[in-house]
Structure 1
Amino acid sequence: MEYEYPKHSKDKSQASKELLLIFFLTFLFFTGYNMVVPILPIYIVSTGASKLELGFIMATIPATSIIARIPFGVLMDKVGRWNITLLALTLQLFAYIMFSLTPPVQILYLTAAVYALAISSFGPSVIAIALDAAPLGSKGSVMGRFYASIGASMVLGPLITSLLTYHYTYQSVFIFTLTLPAVGLATLLTLKGFSIKPTRPSISSLQERPVTSSLKTIIFQRNILLLSAASVTFFISLGVFETMFPIYVKEDLALDTYYVGLLFAVRGIPNAFSRIPAGIMADKVGRRIPLIISYTLTFTALFTLPTAKNIYLLMMLIGLYGFAWGSRTAPSAALYSDNVSSRDTGFISTIIWLTSDVAMALGSGLAGALTMFFSIPQIIRLTSILLLPGLFLILMISESKR
């Protein structure tokens, strides 16, 4: 099934089935993603890369996504969102095969780029399908369930990684991840195979919706500008954290590798459980309040985290970080969607992911460069301060009464 206008003409039963399929595919995709996140920096360093190279290789993933997001967004409207989802799962499978072969440092840049193409194509396509299928007045709760599927993967993925690295090598993680996109591809082709085919938009359709006009309309809206700028501060700190925290645990705290996966799972549990309530809260009291709570708690957790030497205190702060992150996702997506027409959900989903790409690339690259001057705990604390301007930008957002 391809994109239809208006979205409310879509059969409710069909929309519900599409949402269930999207939630399942999203869970599979991000379970693999979250299995890799805790060990990827350690894995890269183990191949002989320096910390500076680590930062650049990690930055290659979001940097490639920056280049690919807009073309995939345009392609999504031309060939269909389900087709792009199919392509994303295929690319993810191929990337995991490349990682499992333990390539040299130079080839890791290419591997990271292929992996980035999977990430940059999957996110916008599935979030656009989910937003399009959401009933009126329920975008926040639907986004809560959508992001809860990602949140659940943030628990299961790192836990599997922790178990595998306790008994086996890094390669075992990548070999296991191969099964996830394979199952996703089989499910998608089985349930949607009859409609997985390119569609040719009519000339009138393309004229009704020129790309540059849609982008300008979206990008120059005040709320979208403010939210995007605030999101940049959030994801810069996240890029720094995900690049350096595994190394910090392994080298500074001298903990075994499986602890890294365990700590990421601890972050994932409150992240998963906070997403649906935050989405429901956003529908009832507005988008700003849960966002204000999220940014405040994120700053508190990251600024305090490097001072924690006790494993239990570290787990508490990681859990707080997960709760804060989960509280941000659904209200943020719903606020973006509030400020565009239904036919622009494809573009807005691209912008949501593109914003995180830009900031994650900056964060990863910055983290690698700062290791030449500062320790990892100092880097995490310094970059957490960026969240304070982000909080100020959230306070400047104006919401119309729904």
Structure 2
Amino acid sequence: MWKEVFSVNKKHLALLFLVAFLTMLGFGIIIPILSLFADELGASSFQIGVLFASYNVMQLIFAPLWGALSDRIGRKPLIAFGLFGFSITFILFGLADSYVEMLVYRILGGIVSAAALPTVNAMVADLFPPEERAKGMGVVGAGIGLSFVFGPVIGGLLSGYGFAAPFFASGGVAFLTFIVILFALPESLPKEKRTSSRQKEKANPFSALFGSLSLLYGILFIVSFAFSGLETTFALYINDLYGFTSKDLGYMFLIMGIISALVQGGMIGRLVKRLGEPRVLTLGLCLYGIGFFTIPISGNFWALSLVLSLFGAGQGMIRATATAMITQRTTIGQGVTTGAISSMDSLGRILGPLVGGAIYAFSYSGPFLLGGVLMIIVLLWFRTRYHRLPEQQKQA
């Protein structure tokens, strides 16, 4: 019987890997193009920043709300809704001929797409027992990592046909994924396990952030904050100091993305079985800290690529294990929980670029040194307070 269940879950996980990959592939495709498209329509640098921030703000607000709804009505409807909305809003964005239209579609896109990826993680939590959950989260994370390897490359190639082309491609990929979900993805949350309307108040979408698991949510926020500051300033840093081009940067992030996908897809399960989630999370934070502190002393392409590889490996360890640890211990619905996780990531991606950019104006190395210091603080915080986390919940 257990072999049968595991086999079904493996097939389910393969579909979730595909969904995560295709969803974030569409997002990755537009990464190199969004700023240039907005600039072509006359947007200022501040307005372009607002375009990026507005999407993340909507994700921050709506991911827990959609997650709570998925606990009540099931996962599949929310994933399908999120991807269909993603498809429509990205196609409309490609058709936009003014900044105001861009901003409206970007806001709507942030609202609807917030229903998709957190709910995929909730599906993993539904399907896999606590001891297998980090492995499941790692496989989904590998799909996301690979999408950011191939997405920007595809987007760059498609931009030769006009800045709108990548957005049409992203919308098309999202619609394809929507069709796959409708016909191939089974529901993971049986009706008897769903929360009722009476339980809705107890499962407050934002209360999770301030409860007994705030340590783990805080770690995910700080890691996202620090890495977003790096993403914002690293291209400027390698150009200002060493004259590297965007092409060089693309190759560096390609190496990082491949390593991140390999770690999440192939190593997380084995590492967790051997060391346990807390030690793997600690190792990931250590790799991040080393990476931040060694950027200022790395002065050539291969050294910088090696440093980014540390982030690629560390990212897989941190996200998969922290997410697994939260979902193992939560006492509210998995949809609410994964939505709250997504909100912490979004909040970090809102604040990190603002702080990183401001510090970079005073010191080229400042954002990276800040990231290193934050990793030391997080490590000490985690090691001294981990024993206060609640016990794992029994798998229902």
Supply the AA of the counterpart residue of 2:53: A
Find the residue that maps to 2:330 and give its secondary structure. coil
1:242-321 → structure 2 map (5 Å cutoff): 242-246=231-235, 255-276=244-265, 277-305=267-295, 308-321=298-311
Corresponding position of 2:109: 115
Matched, 1:90 2:81: no
Tell me if the contact between 1:90 and 1:185 (Cα under 8 Å) persists in the aligned partners.
Answer: yes
Decide whether aligned partners of structure 1 residues 83 and 226 sit closer, same or farther in structure 2, where only a CA change above 3 A counts.
same
Moved more, 235-244 or 269-278: 235-244
Decide whether aligned partners of structure 1 residues 65 and 335 sit closer, same or farther in structure 2, where only a CA change above 3 A counts.
same
Matched, 1:397 2:386: yes
Tell me if the contact between 1:28 and 1:153 (Cα under 8 Å) persists in the aligned partners.
Answer: yes
Tell me if the contact between 2:71 and 2:336 (Cα under 8 Å) persists in the aligned partners.
Answer: no
Supply the AA of the counterpart residue of 1:290: V
Corresponding position of 2:176: 183
Q: CA deviation at 1:152?
A: 2.2
Partner Cα separation in structure 2 for residue 390 and residue 115 of structure 1: 32
TM-score (norm 1): 0.82
Unaligned 5+ residue runs, structure 2? Answer: none
Q: CA deviation at 1:157?
A: 2.0
Decide whether aligned partners of structure 1 residues 200 and 46 sit closer, same or farther in structure 2, where only a CA change above 3 A counts.
same
Supply the AA of the counterpart residue of 2:276: G
Calculate percent identity across the aligned residue pairs.
22
1:185-204 → structure 2 map (5 Å cutoff): 185-192=178-185
Q: CA deviation at 1:32?
A: 1.7
Matched, 1:128 2:116: no
Supply the AA of the counterpart residue of 1:330: A
Decide whether aligned partners of structure 1 residues 311 and 13 sit closer, same or farther in structure 2, where only a CA change above 3 A counts.
closer
Find the residue that maps to 2:202 and give its secondary structure. helix
1:290-318 deviation per Cα after TM superposition (whole angstroms, max 9, x unaligned)? 11121122122234335544222222222
1:25-40 → structure 2 map (5 Å cutoff): 25-40=19-34
Decide whether aligned partners of structure 1 residues 247 and 43 sit closer, same or farther in structure 2, where only a CA change above 3 A counts.
farther
CA-based RMSD of the aligned residues comes to 3.5
Supply the AA of the counterpart residue of 1:205: S
Unaligned 5+ residue runs, structure 1? Answer: 1-7
Partner Cα separation in structure 2 for residue 255 and residue 119 of structure 1: 34
Decide whether aligned partners of structure 1 residues 257 and 92 sit closer, same or farther in structure 2, where only a CA change above 3 A counts.
farther
Q: CA deviation at 1:132?
A: 0.5
Tell me if the contact between 2:71 and 2:195 (Cα under 8 Å) persists in the aligned partners.
Answer: no
Corresponding position of 1:206: 197
Q: CA deviation at 1:269?
A: 0.7
Find the residue that maps to 1:178 and give its secondary structure. helix
Decide whether aligned partners of structure 1 residues 316 and 328 sit closer, same or farther in structure 2, where only a CA change above 3 A counts.
same
Corresponding position of 1:235: 224
Decide whether aligned partners of structure 1 residues 128 and 138 sit closer, same or farther in structure 2, where only a CA change above 3 A counts.
same
Supply the AA of the counterpart residue of 1:315: S
Q: CA deviation at 1:85?
A: 0.5
Partner Cα separation in structure 1 for residue 133 and residue 42 of structure 2: 46
Tell me if the contact between 1:58 and 1:364 (Cα under 8 Å) persists in the aligned partners.
Answer: no
Q: CA deviation at 1:163?
A: 4.5
Supply the AA of the counterpart residue of 1:387: M
Corresponding position of 1:334: 324
Moved more, 90-99 or 80-89: 90-99
Partner Cα separation in structure 2 for residue 337 and residue 121 of structure 1: 18
Tell me if the contact between 1:293 and 1:324 (Cα under 8 Å) persists in the aligned partners.
Answer: yes
Aligned length: 386
Tell me if the contact between 1:38 and 1:264 (Cα under 8 Å) persists in the aligned partners.
Answer: no
Partner Cα separation in structure 1 for residue 269 and residue 46 of structure 2: 38
Q: CA deviation at 1:151?
A: 2.1
Q: CA deviation at 1:114?
A: 2.5
Partner Cα separation in structure 1 for residue 59 and residue 44 of structure 2: 23
Corresponding position of 2:355: 366
Tell me if the contact between 1:29 and 1:180 (Cα under 8 Å) persists in the aligned partners.
Answer: yes
Supply the AA of the counterpart residue of 1:325: Q
1:36-85 deviation per Cα after TM superposition (whole angstroms, max 9, x unaligned)? 33454555556544444444332222211122122212222233211111
Corresponding position of 1:3: none
Partner Cα separation in structure 2 for residue 170 and residue 136 of structure 1: 44
Supply the AA of the counterpart residue of 1:293: L
Moved more, 285-294 or 53-62: 53-62
Q: CA deviation at 1:185?
A: 1.6
Corresponding position of 1:385: 373
Tell me if the contact between 1:56 and 1:365 (Cα under 8 Å) persists in the aligned partners.
Answer: no
